[in-house]
């Protein structure tokens, strides 16, 4: 019935069974439950300001030099691109909203 109603993208049977079991057990929310485990520690305000300060002091710093601050390589890259809105221009890191003349 789902395939006839939603021709292009019907919900999978596994998902239907999971939702059915969830509703039968009394959970009416479709949100995921909180999970145990280690919380993310690299996207803190302290790390963001520390990395931003280092980049503004010397925009030619590499990610390998920023790793020495205690944040992993992938976390540094994610902080620079997603949180600070920067991208690589040759060796330098610069804000994305530069004109061609400024680049």
Distances (CA, A) of 99 to 30, 94, 96, 102: 44, 11, 9, 5
Q: How confident is the model at residue 92 (pLDDT cuts 50, 70, 90)?
A: low
Distance, in Å, from the CA atom of 54 to the CA atom of 5, rounded to the nearest integer, reads: 55
Instruction: Supply the range of the domain harboring residue 89.
Output: 45-95
Distances (CA, A) of 16 to 11, 12, 59: 7, 6, 51
pLDDT of 94: 61
Contacts 24+ apart (CB under 8 A), 79-82: 79/42, 79/43, 79/47, 79/48, 79/51, 80/51, 80/55
Are 76 and 52 part of one and the same domain?
yes
pLDDT tens digits, one per residue of 35-86: 777 777 778 888 888 888 888 888 778 888 888 888 888 888 888 888 888 8
Are 19 and 50 part of one and the same domain?
no
Are 54 and 91 part of one and the same domain?
yes
Q: Closest Cα to residue 80, out of 95, 102, 64?
A: 95
Total-model pTM? 0.49
Are 49 and 91 part of one and the same domain?
yes
């Amino acid at each position: 019935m789902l395939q006839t109603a939603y021709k292009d993208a019907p919900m999978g049977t596994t998902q239907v069974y999971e939702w059915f079991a969830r509703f039968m057990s009394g959970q009416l929310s479709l949100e995921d439950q909180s999970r145990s485990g280690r919380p993310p520690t690299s996207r803190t305000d302290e790390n963001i300001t520390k990395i931003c300060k280092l980049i503004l002091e010397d925009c030619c710093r590499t990610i390998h030099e920023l790793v020495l601050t205690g944040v992993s390589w992938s976390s540094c890259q994610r902080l620079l691109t997603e949180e600070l809105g920067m991208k690589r221009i040759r060796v330098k890191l610069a804000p994305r909203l530069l004109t061609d003349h400024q680049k």
